[in-house]
Amino acid sequence: MNDYSVLVYGATFWGIGFAAASSGVLVIDPGINPGHEFADTFCTKICRPEQLQTEFARYFYSVLQKHNAIHDGKLHPAALVPMLCSFILEHKINVLLDTILIEKQPVCIMSGASKRNISADQIIDTLTPSGTVWKKYFNALLHGEENAVIPTEYLNGSADSPTIAPGRFSSEAVLHFPVSPGTGYAEARQELEAFWRLRPEMLSKWKIAALAPEFYEITDSSQQKNRFFSQGYSDPLLALDSGIMEALK
């Protein structure tokens, strides 16, 4: 079957939410990890369940909780990919991973070496911000040795300097490292490594376990303009909830 009502670009939380509450939707993603826009940027933020408007999103929240991935308003980011994959299978959402959108008219998608034309009444792009990016971060997942604490100056720093957010476990934290919007991955890695090499002694109990495979981008705040852009939401469940709401409209 190659006819779809909607082609969603991005197996993002928003995109998966939208597809879960619609029919005739195909979701494609260039990567292999659904929910990468939050998982691969090490998001530790999670809203309260009361903030969620849909049954689906509250259900996802409860499953995260059941598997010990949320505690005290903080999220274990490594839980997102496996849990979202499980959600996609459970709700039989039509997802093609490792697939790019190479032409919009006519719609042509490509996976590995195979290209195909499909028809879709609408394309929703959840990967590209429609507003301008005004803040960009290259994050790193930190592992704390015994008794590692996050120094207050990093907990409450300004958005323009490196800050550290606690994760779900006491030994888990995320370094939010700001870079300018035009920075590429090579430069970002260089800047972050240089900062980390000269980090102050008070961070010595923290080690970098992984560098984010993706930038975390914050766009101008007009939600209307950016309502499809999944990373524009402050946490994965708000994005999921919003995708579902959009489908139910």
Q: Is residue 150 part of the contact set for another protein (CB under 8 A)?
A: no
- Is there binding between residue 113 and another protein (CB under 8 A)? yes
Q: Which of 82, 131, 151, 157: binder of another protein (CB under 8 A)?
A: 82
Could you tell me which stretch among 17-25, 46-54, 158-166, 211-219 binds another protein (CB under 8 A)? 211-219
User: Cα(43)–Cα(172) distance, rounded to whole angstroms?
Assistant: 12
| DSSP assignments along 50-86, one per residue | GG--SHHHHHHHHHHHHTT-EETTEE-GGGHHHHHHH
186 contacts another protein (rule: CB under 8 A)? yes
Q: How many residues bind another protein (CB under 8 A)?
A: 64
Q: Which residues contact 41 (CB under 8 A, 6 or more apart)?
A: 137, 139, 212, 214, 215, 216, 231
Residues 44-73 that bind another protein (CB under 8 A): 67-69
CA dist 231 and 238 (Å) reads 10
| Residue 200 binds to another protein (criterion: CB under 8 A) | no
d(CA 12, CA 176): 21
β-strand 172-176 against 163-166: which pairing, if any? antiparallel
Return residues touching another protein (CB under 8 A).
30-34, 36, 39-40, 67-69, 76, 78-79, 81-83, 85-86, 88-89, 95-100, 102-103, 110-115, 127-128, 141, 143, 145, 168-172, 184-186, 189-190, 193, 196-197, 199, 203-204, 206-211, 213-214
